[in-house]
Amino acid sequence: VWLWGGGGGGCGFPPVAPGPCPASGSRARGVAANQLSRLSPGNLCPQSVPRVSPVRPGLSPRCPSPSPCVPVCPRDLPPMSPRVPPCPHVSPPSRRHFPHPYYSLRLRVPGSNATARLLLLDTVLLCGGTEDFGAGSPPAGPADAGAAAAQLAWLRARLAAAARDRFVLVAGHYPVWSVAEHGPTACLLRLLRPLLRRHRVTAYLCGHDHNLQYLEEDGVGYVVSGAGNFMEPTQRHGGAVPPGSLRFFYGAPESPGGFAHVRLEPHAATVTFLEATGRVLYRVALPPRDL
């Protein structure tokens, strides 16, 4: 699983490319996120995609909010189609297709019969949009409260169904915990953090802040990978996270950027932070969940 961080405005992780539901027995070892659709048996089939109202009136799932890096889609596009045309002057279609604004992937852990669960969230749908210049503004609240509630109910159900998965990873754009320019996201502290702790989630993966961070609280790892565009060195919210939770931070402005790589093995989910040069910055091994 590769995690590229672009930071604010929805430019964070690479999308999952569309594809047919693969045959059972597929495995994930250390592949780019845009290959995951080929590696997760049955989880992109229609039966696993919840039916909810559009992300926002007039916006397609691939354009959840206006931003400097992803323009708003035309209003005549079908909002819930998984194969709608790409937005004007955006990346090629293969770079911008998602099966749904939020979805679940089940992965085989190489070298074992164990499975891992990856849950991708739309945190803009859940918490609302935000202005992302400088420190920006916090999410203003969901534009569609019913759609936000539906996503939260879906997440609760999926986490409950993942009780036998050896690793559970949850990913979204906004951070739960962050020491950097945006800081913790109050909406996610209220709605998501209790679920991560209750269900013993392995890690929460996010972007939004333009640097690399690793924090840990109550056995849950918090991976911030937002350094794919530029780097911000500020730790202005260092006092807003639990004492001792910050284990790693990298935001050198002169750096060419970086990303985080997650490798699943029977004994651990290993998170490695790398600079764009390939230099390893930090590595942590997260143990399997107690089943």
- Take residue 279 and report the two structure tokens written for it: 């230099």
CB atoms within 10 A of CB 58: 14
Q: Give phi and psi for 115, each to the nearest 5.
A: -125, 160
The closest alpha carbon to 21, from 79, 132, 99, belongs to 99
| Confidence class for position 228, pLDDT limits 50, 70, 90 | confident
**Would you list the domain boundaries of the chain?**
2-47+100-286
pLDDT in the model for residue 69: 30
At 288 the pLDDT is: 98
Contact 94, 85 (CB under 8 A): no
Q: What is the dihedral of CA 207, 210, 214, 218, to 10 degrees?
A: -50
* pLDDT score for 221: 99
For residue 105, pLDDT over 80 is answered with: yes
CATH number of the domain located at residue range(s) 2-47+100-286 in this protein: 3.60.21.10
Compute the average pLDDT of residues 167-185. 96
In DSSP terms, 178 is beta-bridged to none
Residues in the chain, how many? Answer: 291
**pLDDT confidence bin for 99, thresholds 50/70/90:** confident
As a whole number of angstroms, the distance between CA 220 and CA 168 comes to 10
**Statement: residue 257 has pLDDT above 60:** yes
Q: What is the mean pLDDT of residues 221-234?
A: 92
Return the exposure string of 64-75: e unless at least 16 CB atoms fall within 10 Å of the residue's CB, then b: bbebeebebbee
Q: What is the pTM of this model?
A: 0.72
Mean pLDDT of 239-250: 98
- Alpha-carbon gap, residue 98 to 101, rounded angstroms: 7
Element (H, E) at 125: helix 123-127
